[in-house]
């Protein structure tokens, strides 16, 4: 199978970490849409949002998705990639979409344990756990609608990678 694999889910669910491990195990390339944006624009997500607003960032994010989609590639998408119907359709039609599902409390613990310097600006201005709960409530149905496969991503990375490989093997066999 050489279709691209798109990892979707909220910030902190492990898309980049799992994606790198999955790509290595499959012999695929790995790319991250946020990192691609940074490398091609010279600006962080926070800087793009500050200059162009969320709408400008979302438009750039969609361009990045199409630019990086390639056979034999694992793609970690931004947490809001699923907000645009066009992005959900593009990912489903171009490859396999894997939703890394994690409870809000676990996401908050992960984000508080390793805050990123250029972390995205707050979407709501609320405390982290409340914001994560709100964002998940808003996006859960979109993640589910985009996904071919839903994986419990509260497990250790190696187990998540193994589970994804099993699901992909079963999907090919059927």
- Domain CATH for 10: 3.40.50.300
Sign of the C-alpha dihedral, residues 10, 78, 76, 99?
positive
The binding site for substrate consists of: 34, 58, 79, 139
Q: Are 56 and 80 in contact (CB under 8 A)?
A: no
The binding site for ATP consists of: 12-17, 120
Element containing residue 166 per DSSP (H, E): helix 157-173
The binding site consists of: 12-17, 32, 34, 58, 79, 120, 139
Q: Are 22 and 5 in contact (CB under 8 A)?
A: yes
The binding site for Mg(2+) consists of: 16, 32
For the chain, how many structural domains are there in total?
A: 1
- Sorted by sequence, the CB contacts under 8 Å of residue 44 that are 6+ apart come out as 38, 118
User: Would you give per-residue pLDDT tens digits along the chain (174 residues)?
Assistant: 589 999 999 988 999 999 999 999 999 999 999 999 999 999 988 899 899 999 999 999 999 999 999 999 999 999 999 999 999 999 999 999 999 999 888 887 877 766 554 455 555 667 777 778 888 888 999 999 999 999 999 999 999 999 999 999 998 887
C-alpha pair distances (Å), 72 with each of 6, 47, 65, 118: 11, 31, 15, 29
- Sorted by sequence, the CB contacts under 8 Å of residue 62 that are 6+ apart come out as 81, 84, 86, 87
Cα–Cα distance measured from residue 158 to residue 171, given in angstroms and rounded to the nearest whole number: 20
Domain that holds residue 87: 5-173
pLDDT of residue 12: 85
pLDDT of residue 90: 98
């Amino acid at each position: 199978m050489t279709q691209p694999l798109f990892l979707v889910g909220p910030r902190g669910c492990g898309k980049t970490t799992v994606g790198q491990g999955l790509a290595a195990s499959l012999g695929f390339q790995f790319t991250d849409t946020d990192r691609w944006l940074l490398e091609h624009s010279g600006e962080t997500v926070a800087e793009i949002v500050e200059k162009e607003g969320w709408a400008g960032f979302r438009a750039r994010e969609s361009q990045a998705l199409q630019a990086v989609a390639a056979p034999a590639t694992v793609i970690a998408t931004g947490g809001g990639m699923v907000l645009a119907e066009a992005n959900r359709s593009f990912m489903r039609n171009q490859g396999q979409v894997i939703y890394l599902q994690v409870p809000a409390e676990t996401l908050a613990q992960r984000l508080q344990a390793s805050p990123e310097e250029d972390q995205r600006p707050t979407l709501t201005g609320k405390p982290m756990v409340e914001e994560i709960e709100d964002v998940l409530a808003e996006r859960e149905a979109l993640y589910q609608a985009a996904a071919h496969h839903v994986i419990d991503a509260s497990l250790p990375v190696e187990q998540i990678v193994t589970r994804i490989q099993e699901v992909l093997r079963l999907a090919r066999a059927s």
